[in-house]
């Protein structure tokens, strides 16, 4: 499969499928009021935002040039890669908009990662489960430590589920690199914003966009390793 074919297959799945599924859920009433309205509006703005769509296309294009070179990657692998990037992009955007990572985004992404890895055998399935458990428990333990120290939990439940989803796709190694990259980026960006006066001390900031960036970067790093080795 050429990168052009992979890109075409991935774009069709990554952009059309989430839109069709979520549109159906909204029209069928499975997504009701309250917090659902907030993230639903954010998702609609995501689809209409030229910036986020352009960023998704660039990520997808770059990713498929690597995916298409893998021996086992066909149209299914290309579509899965696009779906992963697209889900990360709109989850990050929703978290920026409403400080919320909806279960309807994180949990299907988690399930998809486990399902896709199970297709490649028991070893890949075990790594997927281990990555998901690692992603969830590490942040959960961090929250518990903060509570024991008399401080509020800094990480939301949506962030725990997003890192678990990344772990299901990338395994334990990818989970660790995702968290490391996200933490370093968050420290650098939030530190710069605090110094510049654009971020007040103690102000809540979403961690989801950093996790999404860390997962995308880890995806590229892992596939680059497989391509060149």
Instruction: Lowest mean pLDDT of 43-52, 68-77, 151-160, 188-197, name the range.
Output: 68-77
> Domain boundaries in the chain?
1-100, 104-229
Nearest one of 77, 83, 101, 173 to 131, comparing CA atoms: 173
For residue 45, give both structure tokens. 């703005």
Residue with tokens 């890949």: 124
Note the pLDDT tens digit of each residue in 164-206. Answer: 999 999 999 999 999 999 999 999 988 888 888 887 777 788 8
Per-residue pLDDT at 68 exceeds 70:
no
Note the pLDDT tens digit of each residue in 100-115. Answer: 888 888 999 999 999 9
Nearest one of 112, 116, 94 to 37, comparing CA atoms: 94
Confidence at residue 66, expressed as pLDDT on a 0 to 100 scale? 53
Nearest one of 163, 84, 80, 176 to 120, comparing CA atoms: 80
Give the global pTM. 0.75
- C-beta of residue 135 within 8 angstroms of C-beta of residue 115: no
CA distances from 18 to 21, 109, 121, 223 (A): 5, 11, 27, 24
Note the pLDDT tens digit of each residue in 24-56. Answer: 555 655 444 444 556 566 666 555 555 555 555
């Amino acid at each position: 499969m050429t990168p052009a074919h992979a890109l075409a297959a991935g774009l069709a799945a990554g952009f059309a499928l989430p839109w069709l599924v979520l549109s159906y859920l909204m029209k069928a009433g499975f997504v009701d009021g309250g917090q659902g309205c907030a993230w639903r509006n954010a998702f609609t703005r995501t689809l209409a935002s030229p910036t986020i769509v352009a960023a998704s296309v660039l990520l997808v294009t770059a990713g498929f040039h690597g995916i298409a070179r893998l021996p086992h990657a066909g149209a299914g692998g290309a579509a899965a890669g696009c779906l992963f990037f697209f889900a990360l992009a709109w989850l990050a955007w929703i978290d920026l908009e409403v400080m919320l990572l909806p279960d309807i985004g994180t949990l299907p992404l988690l399930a998809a990662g486990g399902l896709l890895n199970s297709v490649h055998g028991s070893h890949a399935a075990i790594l997927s489960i281990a990555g998901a458990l690692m992603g969830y428990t590490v942040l959960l333990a961090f929250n518990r430590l903060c509570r024991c120290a008399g401080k509020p939990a800094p990480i939301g439940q949506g962030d725990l589920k997003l890192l678990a989803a990344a772990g299901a796709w990338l395994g334990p190694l990818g989970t660790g690199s995702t968290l490391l990259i996200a933490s370093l980026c968050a420290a650098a960006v939030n530190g710069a914003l605090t110094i510049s006066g654009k971020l007040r001390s103690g102000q809540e900031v979403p961690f989801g966009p950093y996790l999404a960036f860390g997962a995308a970067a880890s995806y590229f790093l892992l596939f680059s390793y497989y391509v060149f080795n």
